[in-house]
Amino acid sequence: MNKKRETESFLPLTPAMFHILLALADGEKHGYAILKEVARRTEDKVRLSAGTLYGNLARLESAGLIAESGKRPEVVLDDERRRYYLLTAFGRDVAVAEAERMEEALVQARVKKLFRKPKLA
């Protein structure tokens, strides 16, 4: 009950946040990888800049939705000090709650016949 209220306090998520959480849903990634994933998945409709990406990462991290992974990159592959981020259990809950919220909105929109073909179904 309490936990539910806590997850709901984050809703609705901004599109950028939701996409970042989505990007981390299938494994930990570093910043640039997140950015690339989001662009690919949304066919470039959601374009994150370095600023918006890290602004959101900072907020998600301080709220405990994501965390820094202990994993370090192999030095050979990249000489930059990259950090990897992972989705926390709490972050997953929030992402699920957001998806459910969206779905509910979709159902209602369908009942009101606000669109003909269900695209996400």
Q: Residues interacting with another protein, by CB under 8 A? A: 30-32, 35, 47-55, 57-58, 80-83
- Compare residues 54 and 115 and give the one whose CB is closer to another protein: 54
DSSP 112: T
Shortest Cβ distance from residue 38 to another protein (Å)? Answer: 12
- Compare residues 32 and 115 and give the one whose CB is closer to another protein: 32
Q: How far is the CA of 79 from the CAs of 73, 75, 82, 112, in angstroms?
A: 9, 6, 9, 54
Shortest Cβ distance from residue 17 to another protein (Å)? Answer: 12
Q: How far is the CA of 47 from the CAs of 32, 33, 36, 111, in angstroms?
A: 12, 13, 9, 32
Shortest Cβ distance from residue 121 to another protein (Å)? Answer: 33
Shortest Cβ distance from residue 103 to another protein (Å)? Answer: 29
3-state secondary structure of 48: coil
- Compare residues 63 and 102 and give the one whose CB is closer to another protein: 63
Distance, C-alpha 19 to centroid of its chain: 4
